[in-house]
């Protein structure tokens, strides 16, 4: 049976695109997705909502000099409609909003072009947008931008975002007063009288379904009320247009039923990932395309087969990137891009005399900056991959431009940056050869706590309060996603703080995953001081030792380090750091920090020693530090692991 060609129907107030599989309806000239007809269902979107609250691009912005991640919320509505491509194989339409000085202070100073594409024989549609700030326009801050779809609550009840993160979800009504009880912040609600009685006593919180960019390529919902069952999926085939690199976390799907593609946000990072544009700064960026994929079961198929099919479609989309069909010249095709390849090795003389292949390292191109600056970069494009077991890597389809090459290697602290800038031109093939990363190292490891992987997941994550459970995360690898775990610290350590004894304690059981404040009264909290106790058989008091403290996340906190005496002036203080809010939002990591503290040998003694780690700031239950890894190194005059071992025999 031949495939039906794509047809475009333009009316005064709506535009409808039909390819025989689905009908996509958009408001004219707003460019809001008001309807998606598929598989006999008149509209997959929430018909009880106003038309401008169904499928839309939005952003949050504020004026220059304004701190904070909030601002004016703007559902982006076009003022002009244009047909870009119209034939039997493809329809691409554009909805634009052009800024001028009369809108100063009222609208974000951006030209915005929203595009929608329907292809022949395709069970879904694509959308992307081009944002442009001209040089002579006023400055602004862009706190967030995304596309959101609100699905029908009477049909879509099952959500899936990973093989082990899927479930029947509460209804949006369950979060309302009378059925739900607001907890420590508005996003978290205790279900006290839900429609589905089995959900009673559970906590619903959209942040429990956050995901790293690298793992967030497909998520969505299944409608099991109709037969055949229907799936609605958000597929993100590339992360090049997302800010913050591969481990930046963003929201995915959550109760609504809502499905998001988040392109830029300050979640789990705070102010650092709010791009700030000054007057006189020209900028243009393409967000997307992303693919909204629709599927349905065949006779005899289980509804969950739709998730398996969606994963397969995601692979197809990833392999098709960069797409050939977007009509905008601002989206370069594969032959207009370049490639970089090479090999990354690690040189740590206290681990091995030979260079070590950087197995599973994250390596990528991002705009020029300082070492590690990629994780705070939020204006332009990034291109990341992982090295293979031998350290080899290939980064394909890089947009033309100037970049630095960055990397970080699980198992080693710190960040790598290639010394030379890399310029990508259309068709370029750049070989950088063998690159050698020398991670921070002064001397041999005397002891270490944790795993240097930029996450606190390996540490002790307690069981949640039984009154605040999300059943999905019971006996789950992501047990840290349970609500209220910060309160468990004071229950485990009601009077005295954590004490960790090197050689006896086990960081998987004895190191609480977050150094949080302790609640001492209603809305009153106190800072905490953790101890690391260790023995040294020999001390060179004339030399310097090195304490490496890698931090996986920090929220309005401070790290103070003291040796032997907890009441003396700190040997080191970080000052106020971090706005990640990972503790409240079940994130287990945020931005990465590495502190290297010189410890004079005269502060250490032969025998028992103690390091005190204090987090003194205490105005909130969510202030605190998530440690990644801690290591004490001996004096640097011991030049190798073998020399150190022989000196201690």
pLDDT at residue 70, rounded to an integer: 80
Over the stretch 227-278, which tens digit does the pLDDT of each residue have? Answer: 899 999 999 999 999 999 999 999 999 999 999 999 999 999 999 999 999 9
Yes or no: is domain 7-320 CATH 2.70.98.10?
Answer: yes
Give the integer Cα–Cα distance in Å for 468 and 46.
Answer: 29
Residue 649's pLDDT band, with cuts at 50, 70 and 90, is very low
Residue 648 has pLDDT above 50, yes or no: no
Q: Which of 65-74, 144-153, 345-354 has the lowest mean pLDDT?
A: 65-74
Whether 445-633 and 334-437 are alike in CATH topology: the answer is no
Residue 92's pLDDT band, with cuts at 50, 70 and 90, is very high
Over the stretch 355-379, which tens digit does the pLDDT of each residue have? Answer: 999 999 999 999 999 999 999 999 9
Residue 103: other Cβ atoms inside 10 A: 12
pLDDT at residue 645, rounded to an integer: 41
Residue 647's pLDDT band, with cuts at 50, 70 and 90, is very low
Residue 271: other Cβ atoms inside 10 A: 14
Cβ atoms 29, 79 nearer than 8 A: yes
Give the integer Cα–Cα distance in Å for 100 and 273.
Answer: 27
pLDDT at residue 523, rounded to an integer: 86
Residue 491's pLDDT band, with cuts at 50, 70 and 90, is very high
pLDDT at residue 613, rounded to an integer: 98
What is the CATH code of the structural domain delimited by 334-437?
Answer: 2.60.40.1120
Give the integer Cα–Cα distance in Å for 97 and 110.
Answer: 8
Kindly give, in sequence order, each residue whose CB lies less than 8 Å from that of residue 261, ignoring residues fewer than 6 positions away. Answer: 146, 147, 234, 236, 288, 290
DSSP 41: B
Here the tokens at position 495 are 């009077």
Over the stretch 603-626, which tens digit does the pLDDT of each residue have? Answer: 999 999 999 999 999 999 999 999
Q: What are phi and psi of 315, to 5 degrees?
A: -60, -40
Per 3-state DSSP, what percentage of the chain is helix, strand, and coil (rounded to 5)? Answer: 10, 40, 45
Cβ atoms 192, 181 nearer than 8 A: yes
pLDDT at residue 641, rounded to an integer: 45
- Please identify which residue in the block is written with the tokens 């890089």: 398
What is the CATH code of the structural domain delimited by 445-633?
Answer: 2.60.120.260
Task: List the Cα angle 423/425/427 in 5-degree steps.
Answer: 135
pLDDT at residue 300, rounded to an integer: 84
3-state SS assignment for residue 375: helix
Here the tokens at position 408 are 């970080």
Residue 481's pLDDT band, with cuts at 50, 70 and 90, is very high
Residue 2's pLDDT band, with cuts at 50, 70 and 90, is low
Number of H helices, E strands in the chain: 4, 46
Cβ atoms 296, 310 nearer than 8 A: no
Kindly give, in sequence order, each residue whose CB lies less than 8 Å from that of residue 230, ignoring residues fewer than 6 positions away. Answer: 38, 39, 41, 44, 155, 222, 223, 294, 295, 296, 306
Residue 445: other Cβ atoms inside 10 A: 16
User: So where are the chain's domains?
Assistant: 7-320, 334-437, 445-633
The mean pLDDT of 62-83, rounded to a whole number, is: 90
Alpha-carbon separation of residue 393 from 360, 384, 493 (angstroms) = 10, 10, 46
Classify residue 5 as exposed, middle or buried by CB count within 10 Å of its CB (0-12, 13-18, 19+): middle
Alpha-carbon separation of residue 208 from 104, 165, 368 (angstroms) = 38, 10, 34
Kindly give, in sequence order, each residue whose CB lies less than 8 Å from that of residue 644, ignoring residues fewer than 6 positions away. Answer: 350, 443, 444, 634, 638
- For the chain, how many residues are written? 649
pLDDT at residue 274, rounded to an integer: 96
289 prior amide bond cis, ω within 30: yes
């Amino acid at each position: 049976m031949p495939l039906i060609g794509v047809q475009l129907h333009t009316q005064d107030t709506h535009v409808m695109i039909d390819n025989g599989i689905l009908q996509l309806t958009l408001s004219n000239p707003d460019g809001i997705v008001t309807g998606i007809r598929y598989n006999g269902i008149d509209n997959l979107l929430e018909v009880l909502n106003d038309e401008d609250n169904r499928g839309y691009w939005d952003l949050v912005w504020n004026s220059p000099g304004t701190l904070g991640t909030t601002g004016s919320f703007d559902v982006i509505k076009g003022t002009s409609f244009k047909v870009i491509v119209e034939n039997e194989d493809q329809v691409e339409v554009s909805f634009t909003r052009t800024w001028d000085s009369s809108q100063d202070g009222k609208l974000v100073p951006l030209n915005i072009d929203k595009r929608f594409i329907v292809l022949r024989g395709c069970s879904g549609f694509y959308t992307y947008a081009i944002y442009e700030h001209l040089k002579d326009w006023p400055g602004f801050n862009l706190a967030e931008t995304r596309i959101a779809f609100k699905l029908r609550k009477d049909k879509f009840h099952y959500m899936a975002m990973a093989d082990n993160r899927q479930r029947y979800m509460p209804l949006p009504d369950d979060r309302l007063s009378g059925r739900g009880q607001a907890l420590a912040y508005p996003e978290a609600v205790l279900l006290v009288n839900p429609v589905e009685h089995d959900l009673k006593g559970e906590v619903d919180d959209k942040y429990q379904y956050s995901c790293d960019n690298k793992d967030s390529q497909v998520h969505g919902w299944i409608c099991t009320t109709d037969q055949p069952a229907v799936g609605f999926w958000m597929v993100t085939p590339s992360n090049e247009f997302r800010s913050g690199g591969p481990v930046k976390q963003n929201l995915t799907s959550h109760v609504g039923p809502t499905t998001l593609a988040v392109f830029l946000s300050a979640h789990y990072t705070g102010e650092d990932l709010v791009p700030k544009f000054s007057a006189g700064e020209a900028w243009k960026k393409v967000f997307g395309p992303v693919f909204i994929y629709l599927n349905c079961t065949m006779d005899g198929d289980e509804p969950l087969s739709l998730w398996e099919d969606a994963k397969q479609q995601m692979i197809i989309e990833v392999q098709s990137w960069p797409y050939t069909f977007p009509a905008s010249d601002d989206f370069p095709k594969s032959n207009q891009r370049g490639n970089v390849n090479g090999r990354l090795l690690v040189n740590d003389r206290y681990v091995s005399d030979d260079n070590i292949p950087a197995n599973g390292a994250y390596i990528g191109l991002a705009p020029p900056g300082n070492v590690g600056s990629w994780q705070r970069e939020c204006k332009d494009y990034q291109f990341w991959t992982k090295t293979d077991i031998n350290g080899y890597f290939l980064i394909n389809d890089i947009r033309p431009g100037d970049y630095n090459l960055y990397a970080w290697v699980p198992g080693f602290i710190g960040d790598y940056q290639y010394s030379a800038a890399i310029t990508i031109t259309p068709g370029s093939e750049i070989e950088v050869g063998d690159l050698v990363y020398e991670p921070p190292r002064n001397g041999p490891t005397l002891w270490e706590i944790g795993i240097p992987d930029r996450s606190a997941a390996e540490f002790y994550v307690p069981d949640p309060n039984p009154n605040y459970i999300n059943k999905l995360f019971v006996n789950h690898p992501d047990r840290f996603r349970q609500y209220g775990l910060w309160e468990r610290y004071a229950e485990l350590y009601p009077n005295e703080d954590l004490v960790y004894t090197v050689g006896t304690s086990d960081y998987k059981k004895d190191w609480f995953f977050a150094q949080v404040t302790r609640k001492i009264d209603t809305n009153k909290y106190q800072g905490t001081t953790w101890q690391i106790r260790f023995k040294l058989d020999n001390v060179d008091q004339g030399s310097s030792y090195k304490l490496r403290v890698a931090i996986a996340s920090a929220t309005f906190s401070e790290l103070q380090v003291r040796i032997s005496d907890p009441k003396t002036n700190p040997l080191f203080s970080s000052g106020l750091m971090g706005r990640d809010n990972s503790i409240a939002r079940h994130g287990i990591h945020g931005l990465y920090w590495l502190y290297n503290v010189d410890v004079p040998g005269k502060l250490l003694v032969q025998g028992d020693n103690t390091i005190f780690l204090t987090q003194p700031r205490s105005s909130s239950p969510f202030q605190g530090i998530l440690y990644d890894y801690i290591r004490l190194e001996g004096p640097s005059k011991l030049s190798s692991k073998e020399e150190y071992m022989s000196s201690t025999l």
